[in-house]
Structure 1
Amino acid sequence: MNQLSADVRHTLDVLLPDGHPLRAQIPHLRIRARCACGCTVHFTGPDPAARPEIAAETDLGEDGEVLLFAEDGRLSRLEVCSWTDPKLTLADAARFLRGEPGEAA
């Protein structure tokens, strides 16, 4: 399992600010799988049969949004939903959330 990349870690920091009850999980997360296009990562976590719930989300303006899912109270998936073509990746979302120019800016 892979450690969190800088773009994933930054996006989680924005979605789960200090004091958020799920923030304590960030140092323990590992990436179990990534999609080929770069828009989704799956974290190690609960039984895959658990029902996912949106734990946090943020808007990327006209370009899309970022969704963070939890299953049974544990973070399970981070995903970028694009409304544009080309599709946004988590790296694009992290740049946007840092205020840097890029696809989502």
Structure 2
Amino acid sequence: MTLLPADVAHVLDVLLPEGHPLRAQLPHLRVESRCRCGCSTALFAGVEDGARSDVVAEAAIGSDGEVFLFAEDGRLSWLEVCSWTDPKLTLADAARFLGGESSDTD
């Protein structure tokens, strides 16, 4: 059982379908902090500064934005939501759009 917030868990479930090799990290993943701008981008615990960062998964949120999952040296590092609209989209918005039912952002 994961201790991730519901919005993060729903989005990760879509971005990392069953059988994806990075999915094995989910039971050990913890949110260290959230972006202060209100978008709710989640940074995961245990990521080293200066490590190489790559987009490992992404999904459109209609025509309003996108979510990106990053990994640093093969370790999941952060989940970012980008908005093309105002007000800003959140990870809870992304979870709802991608088929989740979450409104939880804690």
Cα distance in 2, alignment partners of residues 20 and 77 from structure 1: 17
**The residue matched to 1:87 in structure 2 has which SS?**
coil
Alpha-carbon deviation of 1:98? 1.2
Q: Matched residues in 1 for 2:99 and 2:26: separation?
A: 19
Structure 2 CA distance for aligned equivalents of residues 63 and 19 of structure 1: 29
Aligned to 1:91: 92
What residue number does 2:25 align with? Answer: 25
Letter in 2 for 1:34: R
Structure 1 counterpart SS, 2:67: strand
| TM-score, L = length of structure 2 | 0.87
Letter in 1 for 2:67: V
The 8 Å contact of residues 25 and 75 in structure 1, kept in 2 or not, is answered as: yes
What code does the residue aligned with 2:8 have? V
Task: Report the equivalent of 1:35.
Answer: 35
- Residue 45 of structure 1 contacts residue 75 of structure 1 at CA under 8 Å; is this kept in 2? no
The 1-side partners of 2:25 and 2:99 are apart by 22
Residue 76 (structure 2) aligns with = 75
Distance 1:95 1:77 in 2: 19
Moved over 4 A (4+): none
Provide the residue aligned with 1:57 in structure 2.
58
Question: Higher relative contact order by CA 8 Å / sep ≥ 6: 1 or 2?
Answer: 2
- Over the matched positions of the two proteins, sequence identity in percent amounts to 68
What whole-Å deviation, never above 9, does each CA across 1:8-30 have from its counterpart, x for those lacking one? 00100000000101000011001
In the alignment, the residues of structure 2 paired with residue 16 and residue 72 of structure 1 have an alpha-carbon distance, to the nearest angstrom, of: 17
Q: CA–CA distance in 2 between the matches of 1:24 and 1:54?
A: 17
1:51–1:86 distance in 2 versus 1, CA, 3 Å: same
